[in-house]
Amino acid sequence: MRFWIGKILICLLAAGSLSSCANSRDIQNMAYVTALGIDYVNGEYKTYIQVLNFSNIARSENTSLGQKVPIWIGTGHGKTLALSLSDTNATSQFPLFWGHLKAIVLSENLMKRGGKETYATLNRYYQIRYNVLVFGTKDRMEDILTQKSIFNLSPLDTIMYTSAQNHSQSPYIIASYGNRLIANMNEPGNSLYMPSITINKDTWLEDKATRGMFQMNGAYFFDKGSLVNWMSIAELKGLRWATEKISKTTLQVPLEEGNEGAIQFGHPRMKVIPKVQSNGDVKFDLKVTAKGTIRDSDNATIPELEKRAEQAIQEEIKETYRVGLAKHCDPFQMEETLYRQRPRLFHQLTKGGFFFLNERSLGAVQVTVKITSTGKYKEIVK
C-alpha cells in the first residue's frame, strides 16, 4: 500500500513541475495580421496593418455569401520601421499575431529610398515567414488594404493573396515571393522586378454601383537593390513570352482586311542566347516556343494563324525591349544570362555599374508557334 501511495505522490510532484498553459491565449482573443502596407512620408515610416478576424471570414455551410466583412486597419509612424510597427502595437486591444501575414505592399516613396532596411527589419521577426507575396503600388495604401473581393468576400479571396495566375486576371506578370526578391536583390546581372498592384474601377458593377477589383498594372525594376524604373502592363506585353509559369494568355492575331483571330497560349518558353561579336559587343538572340488553342479563327487556315501569331509575338517582344531600353530596364534578364554564361565578359561590360544594353544588343527573335487544338469546334485543317 505504501508503495502505491509513494508512486502517486511522485506523479503528483512531477505534474506540478510541468509548464502550464496559463500564458496561452485563446485564438479569438488575438488579432491576426494578414497584410502590411509600408510608406515613407516626411522623413518617417508609416505602416498600415490589415487585421482580420477568422470568425468573420471562415467558410462553412452557414456562411452568408455577400455579407460584408469588416476590415480593420491599424496605422503607425516612426523614424524607423521597427518604431512605426511598435506604434501600432501600443493601441491594439488584442496581441498582434504575424504568423498569417500573406502580403506586403510597398509605396513608391519607400522603394525610391531603398528596401534593404525594410527586409532586414521584417526578417528579424520570427513570426513572419519568408514566403510572403510582395507588391508595389502607386495607389493610396488605405484603398489597397481595404479592397474586398467579388461578392463582398474578404481580401483573402483576391489576387493579392495568391501566387498562382488566376485565369486572365494576371495575363503578363506573376506575383513574387519575398524570399525570391531578397535572394535576387544583390545578384549581379539580375534585373529584379516587383509586380505593381492597383484597383480597377471600370470593369465590375454591383447592381448599378461600380465596384473596384485588384489588377496588376505593371512592374517595378531594380538593380542592386535600387529602384530603376516602372513599366506599365501594356509596355510589358512581350514579357509574357518569357514567363513559363503563365497558364493562360490570349493573343489577338491580325489577319487580312483588318480582321483578327485569337489564340490562347499556355506556358510559353523563351531561351536567351548571348553571342559575342568580333568588336567585343554582345548580341542576344531570343528563341520562343509557344503552343496554343484557337479561340477565334475568322476562317483563316491554321498555318496562316501560326505564321501571323509568330509575327505578332516578335513585334510584342521587340516593343517591350525598346521601351525597357529607354527606361534602363531589362525585362528579359539578358544581363543575368550573360553573367551566368560569360561572367568575365559581364564584369568587363558592367565596369562601373553601367547598363550596357543598347539598340544593337537585341539580335534575332525566332518564334515558333504550334496550334495544338481548335477547341470544342473541330475545324478542318486546310
Q: Which range, 146-160, 172-186, 339-353, has the best average confidence (pLDDT)?
A: 339-353
CB 251 within 8 A of CB 305: no
pLDDT band for position 93 (cuts 50, 70, 90): confident
Grid cell locating 284: 542576344
β-sheet bridge partners, residue 231:
219
- pLDDT given at position 16: 54
CB 262 within 8 A of CB 254: no
Q: Is residue 288 scored above 90 in pLDDT?
A: yes
Q: For 47-76, write each residue's pLDDT tens digit.
A: 999 988 766 555 555 555 556 777 889 999
Residues 6+ apart with CB under 8 A from 211: 150, 201, 204, 205
Distance CA 11, CA 13 (A): 5
- pLDDT given at position 307: 95
Residue whose C-alpha cell is 510584342: 316
pLDDT band for position 189 (cuts 50, 70, 90): confident
Least confident range from 17-31, 150-164, 236-250, 304-318: namely 17-31
- pLDDT given at position 47: 93
* Sign, CA torsion 348/351/353/354: negative
Q: Is residue 273 scored above 90 in pLDDT?
A: yes
Distance CA 60, CA 289 (A): 44
Label residues 326-345 b or e (16+ Cβ within 10 Å = b): eeebbbbbbbbbbbbeeeee
CB 241 within 8 A of CB 250: no
* Nearest residue to 35 (alpha-carbon basis) of 144, 115, 118: 144
Mean pLDDT confidence for 34-56: 87
Mean pLDDT confidence for 175-196: 80
Q: Is residue 368 scored above 80 in pLDDT?
A: yes
- pLDDT given at position 167: 46
* Nearest residue to 367 (alpha-carbon basis) of 257, 292, 297, 294: 292
pLDDT band for position 125 (cuts 50, 70, 90): confident
Grid cell locating 148: 474586398
CB 321 within 8 A of CB 241: no
pLDDT band for position 162 (cuts 50, 70, 90): confident
- pLDDT given at position 58: 54
**Of residues 225 and 103, more confidently modeled:** 103
Cβ atoms within 10 Å, residue 249: 22
**Of residues 169 and 201, more confidently modeled:** 201
Residue 354 sits at φ, ψ, to 5 deg, of -85, 150
Distance CA 38, CA 108 (A): 10
Distance CA 206, CA 204 (A): 7
pLDDT band for position 20 (cuts 50, 70, 90): very low
Distance CA 334, CA 341 (A): 11
Q: At what angle do helices 116-124 and 178-185 cross, to 10 degrees?
A: 130
Distance CA 264, CA 306 (A): 12
Q: Is residue 232 scored above 90 in pLDDT?
A: yes
CB 194 within 8 A of CB 174: no
- pLDDT given at position 275: 94
pLDDT band for position 168 (cuts 50, 70, 90): very low
Mean of all residue pLDDT scores within the chain = 83
